[in-house]
Chains A and B, each alone.
Chain A
Amino acid sequence: MDKNEQILATLKSVQDFEGKEFQCNEQAILLEYQKREQNKTSLAIKILSLFGGFFATQSFLGFLSLMGLFDSPTALVAVGIAFVIAAISINKKFDKIIFDTISISAYVTGLVLLGIGLHFFNATNSVIALAIFVVAFITLVLNQTYILSFVAVITACGSILSLIILNKVYELFQMYTVLIAAMLTYVILNEGKIITINNKFSKLYNPIRIGLIFSLLFGLAFLGNRTILDLNIGFIWLSSVMLMLLVIYLVSQIVKILEVTDKKNQITIYLLTVLVLSSTIFAPSILGAILIVLLCFLVNYKTGLVIGIIALIYFISQYYYDLNFSLLTKSIILIVSGILFLVFYAFIHKKSVQNEKI
């Protein structure tokens, strides 16, 4: 079979590359490829099962509520936990797409029921948020499928965000964002290290990566929207400076990749970078989006790259929209920034033409 020969050739080249200590379980690898080949579905079928799973769970919930579910807090908590456990076990046992969507709907519904039940028990909102965080973390430990782990990561970070909002400690948004950004940088730059720890981490790598990107975007959205949502965050430049340090660290990695050896060129690049980034000192959301774009392009992660670019466009538009200057001042700022970027472009263009000549 052609596909099998291809796989064996791949394995052989990896072996040649790695050396004598490399051992692998060929049977398991061939089996894994077969399983992936069989489970390919078209986009239309995926969307159909998404809606089906969602509507089925909601209708079942409607039936339960008519049976008097919402009158008893104990039943709510019990059914909530039962839904969550059902979601995790269905996902572990079955691999087809329809069970994926049913388990996601059951998981989310279970969490919601758990929250409502705890509320009826007069638990404070912070306790509910903590409980949901614990459930999400346990889900990550127990289950390694893609979609459920992604939802668990988002739920965990979302519960932390709600803790911040509920207790009105809005300054912590900055710490949250910087922490998640640092985690994302570490996760993306150390792909090899993480996926070779053990199989659990290898399967969790993808969902954690995309989950962290979305959680970072939530944090950035709060920082970007702070005037609209009337959050009083002092010292906003603190998070900007931290994010700027992360971006400059990334730029140093990129300079290594681009093999720029001339000292003068390196200094020019760093100077231009600091100049461009310092214009965003009051907009950490733009810096965060730039971080996402650079990280995802470095590892060739197309989904993250597209999300980062869309977020960048959105945050830049929002920043300039909220800016408290007249339209005339804004137009001058924009034109000057535009010219600065075109200078950067000309510099890179000149460098690449020089390299081609060599």
Chain B
Amino acid sequence: MVKLSRDDIYIISQNSNWSAKGVQSILKQNIYSSPTSWQQFLRLFFLSLGIGFATFGVLFFFAYNWADLHKFVKLGLMEGLIIITTFVVLFSKFNDLIKNLALTSASILVGVLFAVFGQIYQTGANAYDFFLGWTLFISLWVLISNFAPLWLIYLTLINTTLVLYSQQVAQDWSGVFISTLLLLVNSLFFIFFIVGFKKITKISFPKWFFYTIALAAIFSATIGIVIGIFSKFDISFWTLFVLTSILYASAVWYSLQINTTFYLAIIAFSLVVIITSFLIKIFKSDASYLIVTLFIIGSITFSIKLLLDLQKKWTNG
């Protein structure tokens, strides 16, 4: 008996006189969950619920008594947790995935430790130097980890540090400048990962990792240029513009090399947003809305057609 999928059953039943009973029994045999998968599911379900509830019970118990704990106990508890997780990473016999998860939790616990420190000694935990300290202290762990989620957390921390720094200390940095900085940082990491990792460690990261970094870079570039369009065209704007053009061109070239449509799609979207804001700025009359509508429909249809054609060429050619 050929293995049927749900789509197959729907298509066939729409174009034949299949009886209701027949369809239901085929669905039961082929698609609905079997007894073994039910057993696995129920076991996993109750195990997760049990462990989750018990863990939260313990956490709530500590939260209830938190204010009464001596400050050394609080700090000691956090540091103890970090030491335990690092021991798990170094000395246990679990597989690599669990060790990487433990290292990630250790890195997050470093941040929690600094937050507890800030709460006890009232240093003001939202300041940029909390994030800066956190970033610096986990740098070494991140470098040796080769674990994509941990690297993403690290990059998020770097971005957050830069944004908070510009908001709290260097308040004379324009929006364009901070966007340029973010674009540079994210693009450099992206290029480093694509080029460097293959040569050094031969471990490749999953696609969503690269997609997220590219999204962050293109997002900051788009925001920077739109801010620049609606303020003034000064030297920092033109620097960002040139930098963005170079990066977009190389991203398009890279996309065509490795046959993915993702980067092309988000670059197209970013270009539509930029040109739309430019059109809104130069046409200040009522007609601007109509022009903008027509432009958006035209450009998106054009880009989608282009991307679909490319995709067909790659899957068939």
- CB pair A23–B17 under 8 Å, yes or no, is yes
A326 and B63 CA atoms in complex are apart in Å by: 11
- 1/0 per position for A16-28, CB-CB distance to B under 8 A? 0110011111001
- CB pair B53–A192 under 8 Å, yes or no, is no
**Could you say which residues of chain B place their CB within 8 Å of the CB of A331?**
56-61, 63-64
**4 closest Cβ pairs, A-B complex:** A192-B24, A52-B300, A338-B54, A24-B16
Q: Chain A: how many interface residues by the 8 Å CB criterion?
A: 78
Q: Chain B: how many interface residues by the 8 Å CB criterion?
A: 72
The contact sample of 12 A-B pairs, CB cut-off 8 A, is: A24-B15, A56-B300, A193-B24, A196-B18, A202-B14, A203-B14, A258-B38, A258-B39, A299-B32, A331-B58, A334-B56, A341-B53
Q: Does B246 contact A (CB under 8 A)?
A: no
Stretch among B109-117, B125-133, B227-235, B302-310 lining the A interface? B302-310
A163 and B229 CA atoms in complex are apart in Å by: 46
Q: Does A55 contact B (CB under 8 A)?
A: yes
Q: Does A29 contact B (CB under 8 A)?
A: yes
- CB pair A25–B7 under 8 Å, yes or no, is no
A49 and B23 CA atoms in complex are apart in Å by: 35
- 1/0 per position for A30-65, CB-CB distance to B under 8 A? 001100100001101101110111011001101100
- CB pair A25–B1 under 8 Å, yes or no, is no
Q: Does A352 contact B (CB under 8 A)?
A: yes
A232 and B289 CA atoms in complex are apart in Å by: 46
- CB pair A339–B1 under 8 Å, yes or no, is no
Q: Does B144 contact A (CB under 8 A)?
A: no
- CB pair A44–B261 under 8 Å, yes or no, is yes
Can you name the residue of chain B whose Cβ is closest to the Cβ of A27? B15
Tell me the A291-347 residues at the B interface (CB within 8 Å): 297-300, 320, 326-328, 330-342, 344-345
**Could you say which residues of chain B place their CB within 8 Å of the CB of A258?**
35, 38-39
Tell me the A218-240 residues at the B interface (CB within 8 Å): none
**Could you say which residues of chain B place their CB within 8 Å of the CB of A6?**
2
- CB pair B51–A338 under 8 Å, yes or no, is yes
- 1/0 per position for B276-317, CB-CB distance to A under 8 A? 100000000010011011001100110110011001000000
Stretch among B73-81, B82-90, B217-225, B263-271 lining the A interface? B263-271
A342 and B33 CA atoms in complex are apart in Å by: 23
Do A352 and B16 form a contact, CB below 8 Å, given A47-B265, A338-B54, A342-B46? no
A22 and B23 CA atoms in complex are apart in Å by: 12
- CB pair B265–A56 under 8 Å, yes or no, is no
Q: Does A281 contact B (CB under 8 A)?
A: no
Q: Is the interface of A mostly helix, strand, loop or mixed?
A: helix
**Could you say which residues of chain B place their CB within 8 Å of the CB of A261?**
none
- CB pair B289–A45 under 8 Å, yes or no, is no
**Could you say which residues of chain B place their CB within 8 Å of the CB of A275?**
none
- CB pair B296–A18 under 8 Å, yes or no, is no
**Could you say which residues of chain A place their CB within 8 Å of the CB of B206?**
none
- CB pair A344–B23 under 8 Å, yes or no, is no
Other A-B contacts than A52-B296, A63-B290, A299-B31, 15 sampled, CB-CB below 8 A, are A10-B8, A24-B18, A32-B15, A42-B261, A44-B264, A192-B20, A257-B35, A300-B32, A328-B61, A330-B57, A331-B59, A334-B56, A335-B58, A338-B52, A342-B47
- CB pair B300–A49 under 8 Å, yes or no, is yes
- CB pair B21–A23 under 8 Å, yes or no, is no
A59 and B291 CA atoms in complex are apart in Å by: 9
Do A257 and B11 form a contact, CB below 8 Å, given A56-B297, A328-B61, A331-B58? no
Do A21 and B17 form a contact, CB below 8 Å, given A36-B7, A42-B311? yes
Can you name the residue of chain A whose Cβ is closest to the Cβ of B3? A10
Q: Does A124 contact B (CB under 8 A)?
A: no
- CB pair A196–B50 under 8 Å, yes or no, is no
